[in-house]
Structure 1
Amino acid sequence: MPAEQPTPTRRRTDLMAIESQLSAEEIGIRDRVAEFVDRRIRPHIARWYEEAVLPTELFGEMAELGLFGMHLTGYGCAGRSATEYGLAMQELEAGDSGIRTVVSVQGSLAMSAIHKHGSEEQKQQWLPGMAAGEMIGCFGLTEPTAGSDPGAMATRARREGDEWVLAGSKRWIGLATIADVAIIWAKVPAAESEAAVEGEHRTSPDDAGEVVRGFIVPTDTPGFRAEVIGQKLSMRASLQCDITLEEVRLPAEAILPKNPGLRGPFGCLSEARYGIAWGAMGAARDALEAALDYAAERQQFGRPLSGYQLTQKKFTDMALELTKGQLLALQLGRAKDAGTLENHMISVGKLNNCRAAIEICREARTIFGGNGITAEHSPLRHANNLESVRTYEGTDEVHTLIIGQRLTGEAAFR
């Protein structure tokens, strides 16, 4: 039976004609980012990964594409829809997870923190330059001993006269060594927090009368120090860093005035998790397509690998999981655009799609045999990167408990 061929614009892995559900504008944004990835990332990513280099020279063009703060409105941001943002993240991560992470850290975390929780003056001061790629941001929440439990953070901020003084440390902070500004989350005495809240004076004490608050910290402030974490086996074409805060003194207006408590950083994490649900499918799709190309050319026992039943079973299983993940990501995007997205839905997308993407990339690697462990081919690089993506912005365990609470009504985090 002759194989049905995809249309000129539809990918062969699009088994359910998902593209037909996209508008012309959505397809246009997707294709512009895909062209950027083909031209600027694919030819070089193997070397960048091997040499552990983050290609900062790409940032200017990424800003021109409107990728920094893409889903935010005003202040020089592109103001695109959630679905358009998701499609862009899928294409970026088809190139490499580390490159997609740049956009996530800059836009979904650092810029979103200012956009969601900052004053009008803070937004005007920082967001236009960040959208233009003229200033790079980072987001300091995770600590050496407080990963999945940010409420246990040890970083503290205290008020001394007209200044805030920050002391503590953060770990696994993307872009910190090249950032111009850091959003640092710290615990503040509830009474001091109360006086800094914009609007209604409501606090959310986490323990011992303290509240988690966000601070805008220029990275040239005395006492701020960032160091690259080396010897990574994953996310090598990116930067993850340790931050040390030694009596960092900030003006009173450095605090983010809105949404005290953990709902502040969690609101930003939700934005990043949403992007991951899309991005992971980009890595998975790239691995599957690379394996399909290889199997069509690789001859074994007198015929191409793609002509064997066991190989076709692998491709079918991978394509089914890819299709389900892409449909899930699209549903998340439509719900987010409609204002009906619920927190547990993001956990469903992040947990499912990271799990599926890793398995797809690992299975795709087997198609290449021994050649699959070389940097010439993408699946194992994607699988290694996805080990980090699976961990950050909430581990499998955290998202399992979020979904479990939605199903049972019982919080089982402690």
Structure 2
Amino acid sequence: MFLLALVLFIALLTFVLYYPLSLALGSVVVVAGLFALTFVSPWMWLLLLPAAAAVVVLNLTDVRRKLLSDPAYHFLQKAMPPMSVTEREAMEAGTTWWEKDLFSGRPDWKKFVDIELPQLSEKEQSFLDNEVDELCSLIDEWQIFEDQDLSPAAWEYLKKKGFFGLIIPEEFGGRDFSPYAQSRIMSKIASRSVTAAVTAMVPNSLGPGELLMKYGTEEQKNRWLPGLADGSEIPCFGLTGPEAGSDAGSIPDIGVVCKGEFEGQEVVGIRLTFSKRWITLAPVATVVGLAFKLHDPEGLLGDSDKSDYGITCALLPADYPGIEIGRRHNPGSPFMNGPIKGEDVFVPAEWIIGGPAMAGKGWRMLIECLGAGRGVSLPALSTASGEMSYLTVGAYSRIRRQFNMEVGKFEGVQEATAEVAANGYTLEAFRQLVTRGLDGGAPSVMTAMAKYHATEMMRTSVNHAMDVVSGRAIQLGPRNFTAFAYRALPVAITVEGANILTRSLMIFGQGAMRCHPYLFDEVQTLQAEDEDKAKEAFDKLFMRHLGHVFSNITRLKLFSFTCARFSPTPVNADDFSKVWYQRINHMSAAFAVAADVALGVLGGDLKRRELLSARLGDVHSQLFIACSILKFHGAHPRTAEEDAHAEYALKQAFHKAQTSLQAFYANFPSKFLGWAFKFATFLWGSPYKAPNDSDIRKLGGLIMEDTSVRKMLAGYVYMNHNPEDAVGRVESTYQLLNDLGDVWHTFSRAQAKGELEGDTLDERLDDAVAKGVIEQADVEPLKTYDARRYDCLLTDNFDKL
């Protein structure tokens, strides 16, 4: 009977922790349940008495604080490193969204069901179909490469049609488009020219426009926004420099508040000394946004007790005396990029964005405005490259033959092309969920995920494209449809925070503070000046935090034992997606537990354990990516082709998350805890397998077919059928092959087997007709295709280089 009573008690405790009840209610349920179980077995008194004592300690506030929360407060206060003003501003900046649910270990699927993927408005769709298409027709990437600049016609069209004012409100002459529309526009341009896309991206991401809209004075908005909207003003933003790249908070540029002469009058102003590098659009800019550290030694801004204000942002005309815009950098892609310098440049204090009242608030402003670059622009460029790799590599691997077979049918090639196919699908799904999240704010953790993982998927897909297309992709020239995306990779990987630091420091580092339900508030209490009030607040937070931890541990054990088969899923989940949602429940609980264990054991030292932090960030990110795939898949009618793409992509995401979590356990400083939680998480071994050979063959075959997925992805980029265009040559040839059906395959097979006689194509075609291999009506289409096929394989050559 004791074993039965013990099993019933474990079930009761599991219920209490799985559905986290309030401390008082949970205590009553546990004690009452144990008391009832003493009638089943008197031995349960051995559990009831210590449980009752624990309940008393936990529910009497003074006793609890003395024995538990106050000691924890003092221990953590010593263990946690002080948070700098810059770190605090970074942590407080931005918002949170679905990534917070995943961090909690308990995703709210009712909330997820209510998330609708973004749609273009009528105006946005019209702009995409007309102005963007027209711009793409004006662009020749090879000519841009030779000229090292956009054509005058393209520059004029970008300005005239409002491409630099997509985010600016209509009242100032802008387009006021949604994040999704901006992403779709930039993707379509990027599918034609990375250089043109980068040129259009910068004014619509981290630039003066967004800063002015959110923080500028009315005078500043009226002065600058109309010109930024109509292209008469070209903006750039000076943030990074020789000693401040990803660590933009370390900028050495200085502004000292002083009095000086401006337009014939003495005014309070700022004397600036700065040296900026890698500033996109700087060589052609007419207005410069500038970030610097502001000092006010004389208290001229009104606060005599404050001299160091910290990072501040100001807006200056590019031709202002003392500003020196240097010669161009060469970032590999020929977009405008260069240095900006200035020494003892005096400007009025009113030129601070937002006026003097915003002095010292530049870092938070910048962090909150990074969302556009991280969440819209760079993922848009990555999505375009991923989709173009899907379309061109899929077509080329079917057109190109080696050893009498399409190269795309070799399993070694399919290993690459299957990943290209999965990445193309994933990038579009990821883009749509991220831009939906940006509608309500700027989730800093989500946009860091988007920047890192989208650009890394781009890198993988483009590298695979180079491998598959091979020598045809290496030789530069107007026929090359892959090389320019390859040359742009370092830019995407490096800007808006280098990928290495984004992964190892930002995603989990910020995620722990911004997405954990209690951690940030706890840290704030640890640094509060009023210790009595801080301890009182900490006690409540700490008890909720403990309940959160034990609840997630319970859920994790239950999900691991049952493979999460009975865990909740969205009400609209179909037979394909239900199991994947349950796997997210399992991995979300595992991630939440791992995060709390890491924070509890390592404390502030976790910030320096970048490898552990990066792995936890990978788990968090892959869960978000999996959610985006399921949301995107569920938005379309079910087809076998789309199921294959989604399943492959989901297997990739879960295998990556599992691998990262296992590596986290294996390298955790406490080997026992690492082993214990690995066992608790993966009770039956490693459940999430990478795509197998059958999956690879299936998707490697589908990328060569004109499926519904291919047609869908083609709708997001700029495609043409001009046989003289780099992409159009491949696409039009591929469509000719599709029109032939099985005829080309039948003829090629007979030719390879030596069944046809003749030294020329014409002779072999005539023999094929005579032997009934093909029909007479097939001869001319086969001749046309063969000529186009051969032309498709040729690379450019030049008289001189």
Question: TM-score normalised to the size of structure 2?
Answer: 0.45
Which aligned pairs between 1:39-58 and structure 2 lie closer than 5 A? Answer: 39-41=137-139, 44-55=140-151, 57-58=153-154
Per the alignment, residue 147 of structure 1 pairs with: 245
Instruction: Show the counterpart of 1:8.
Output: none
The answer to whether the aligner puts 1:404 opposite 2:508 as a matched pair is yes
| SS of 2:489 mapped into structure 1 | helix
The residue number in structure 2 matching 1:82 is 179
CA contact (8 A) 1:190 1:210 kept: yes
Q: 1:250 Cα deviation (Å)?
A: 1.7
Q: Secondary structure at the match of 1:262?
A: helix
Map of 1:236-247 to 2, 5 A cutoff?
A: 237-247=334-344
> Offset of 1:31 from its aligned partner?
3.4
Q: 2:209–2:228: 8 Å Cα contact kept in structure 1? A: yes
Count of residue correspondences: 382
Partners of 2:429 and 2:323 in 1: how far apart? 43
1:352 to 453, 464, 470: 453
Aligned counterpart, 1:182: 288
Query: CA contact under 8 A between 1:176 and 1:243: conserved in structure 2?
Result: yes
Following superposition, the deviation at residue 34 of structure 1 comes to 5.2
Structure 1 position 387, deviation (Å): 1.1
Q: Where does residue 484 of structure 2 map in the other structure?
A: 381
Matching residue's letter, 1:60: E
SS of 2:252's equivalent in the other structure is coil
CA distance in 1, matches of 2:404, 2:299: 73
Q: Is the contact made by 1:70 and 1:85 (CA closer than 8 Å) also made in structure 2?
A: yes
Supply the distance in 2 between the matched residues of 1:268 and 1:240 (Cα, whole angstroms).
20
Question: What displacement does 1:267 show?
Answer: 2.3
1:368 and 1:142, CA in 2 relative to 1: closer, same or farther beyond 3 A? Answer: same
Kindly indicate which of the two structures has a greater share of residues assigned to helix.
2
Q: 1:317 to 1:149 in 2, by over 3 A?
A: same
Higher strand fraction (1 or 2): 1
Alignment pair present for 1:172 and 2:278:
yes
Identity %: 23
Q: Distance in 2 between matches of 1:34 and 1:386?
A: 23
Structure 1 residues 30 and 306: CA distance shift in structure 2, 3 A = farther
**Higher normalized contact order (CA 8 Å, seq sep 6+, divided by chain length):** 1
1:120-135 aligned within 5 A: 120-135=218-233
What does residue 563 of structure 2 align with? Answer: none
Contact in 1 for aligned 2:252/2:293 (Cα 8 Å): yes
Note the C-alpha offset of 1:192. Answer: 7.7
CA contact (8 A) 1:48 1:55 kept: yes
- Offset of residue 145 of structure 1: 0.6
- Alignment of 1:68 with 2:164, yes or no, is yes
Runs (5+) with no aligned partner, structure 1 = 1-19
- Aligned residue for 1:228, secondary structure, equals coil
Please tell me the residue identity of whatever aligns with 1:329.
Answer: R
CA distance in 1, matches of 2:118, 2:162: 23
- Is residue 321 of structure 1 aligned with residue 417 of structure 2? no
Deviation at 1:391, TM superposition (A): 0.5
Aligned to 2:350, which of 226, 239, 253? 253
Q: Is contact 1:105-1:174 (8 Å) kept?
A: yes
CA distance in 2, matches of 1:245, 1:159: 16
Aligned residues of 2:208 and 2:315 also touching (Cα < 8 A): no
Tell me, yes or no, if the aligned pair for 2:293 and 2:312 is still in contact at 8 Å. yes
Contact 1:63 1:133 survives alignment (8 Å): yes
Contact 1:53-1:238 within 8 A present in 2 as well = yes
Kept in 1: contact 2:275–2:341 (CA 8 A): yes
1:3 maps to none
Deviates more, 1:26-35 or 1:164-173: 26-35
Partner of 1:219: 318
Contact 2:256/2:296 (8 A) holds in 1:
no
Contact 1:216 1:256 in 2 (8 A): yes
SS in 1 for 2:233: coil
Could you tell me which amino acid in structure 2 is paired with residue 154 of structure 1? P
Question: Displacement, 1:378?
Answer: 2.9
CA distance in 2 between counterparts of 1:34 and 1:315 reads 29
Q: Which one-letter code corresponds to 1:172 in the other structure?
A: W
Structure 2: how far apart are the matches of 1:227 and 1:55?
22
User: 1:76: how far off?
Assistant: 1.0
Deviation at 1:341, TM superposition (A): 4.9
